[in-house]
Amino acid sequence: MTRKPFPVSKMSRLSCNTTIILIGCLSLGLSGCKGASTALAASGSADAAPLSGPAVFSAFWGTRMPRVCAPVTSPPSAAQAAALIQCHMDHATREDIYLMQNIHIQMSGTHQVGAMDGIEDNIDNSSPAYDLTGSHDYYDCAPINEAVMHNTGKNCFVTHSASTGGECWKVHDGTWHCELQILAGPVGRANTDANQPGPATY
């Protein structure tokens, strides 16, 4: 397989020290820099389920299909932000499918939108952006071709990002998008496992 990194926009600096640890709860939203609070959320949690239906498995890819979310038109909650990262970054081409998994992020407040924020998404400059840091696994998977490649259950590269930045921002249609950077280049290759099975769940 030839690995083709996902083109992620440049992320901005983090702006304050308050953190919200994301592992599983929709009820606590983003709190900016008002004080320390902790929310548990996960991209695959039941609390994020209203944004999308259950994961759909593809025999062609040997993985789940890219996540598709309903529009979020207010600043996202903890669980929504984790799901929106998948909905914004998951995608498939004719040759590969790219999936974000095992997302664990900290939300550390807001910053005024700058020139390098969400440049590909017609960002709304009147709305603040929310800063993210965290970890995730990034899957790059080829189609299953057992007859030729014998790659069932080992058709994916997985890049492990233990510390990376990101953000959530509002675009002019009123919806919110979120993303995290992925590791690329020599550092990315050094943290990538080959011949891995694809994920079946969020």
Which of 90, 181, 201 lies closest to 135 in space, CA to CA?
181
What pLDDT score does 100 carry?
Answer: 97
Residue 97 lies in a domain: yes
Condensed to tens digits (0 to 9), the pLDDT of residues 95-147 reads 999 999 999 988 888 998 877 676 657 888 888 999 988 899 999 999 999 99
Asked if the model's pLDDT at residue 31 lies above 60, the reply is no
Per mean pLDDT, which range of 74-78, 83-87, 167-171 is the poorest?
74-78
Domain assignment of residue 11, yes or no: no
Average pLDDT, integer, range 40-45: 52
Helix (H) or strand (E) segment spanning residue 89: helix 78-89
Residue 3 above 90 pLDDT? Answer: no
Determine, yes or no, domain membership for 8: no
The larger pLDDT score, comparing residue 58 to residue 20, is at 58
> Which value, to the nearest 10 degrees, does the dihedral of the CA atoms of residues 183, 185, 88, 75 take?
50
The two beta strands, 176-180 and 156-170, are antiparallel
Q: What are the tens digits of pLDDT across the range 100-113?
A: 999 998 888 899 88
183 in a domain, yes or no? Answer: yes
Q: How many helices (H) and strands (E) does the chain have?
A: 2, 9
pTM attached to this predicted model: 0.77
> Which pLDDT tens digit goes with each residue over 158-194?
999 998 889 999 998 999 999 999 988 899 989 999 9
Number of domains in the chain: 1
The per-residue pLDDT of the chain, averaged, comes to 79
For residue 84, the enclosing domain spans 20-196
Higher pLDDT, 199 or 123: 199
Flag whether 124 is in a domain. Answer: yes
Residue type present at position 99: L
* pLDDT over 60 (residue 59): yes
- Beta-carbon contacts of residue 115 (< 8 Å; ≥ 6 apart): none
Output the pLDDT for position 125. Answer: 86
Domain-located, residue 201: no
Between the CA of residue 22 and those of 12, 45, 77, 83, 175, what are the distances in Å? Answer: 20, 11, 10, 11, 21
Residue 125, Ramachandran bin (φ over 0: left; ψ between -120 and 50: alpha; else beta): alpha
In a domain, 102, yes or no: yes
Residue 12 lies in a domain: no
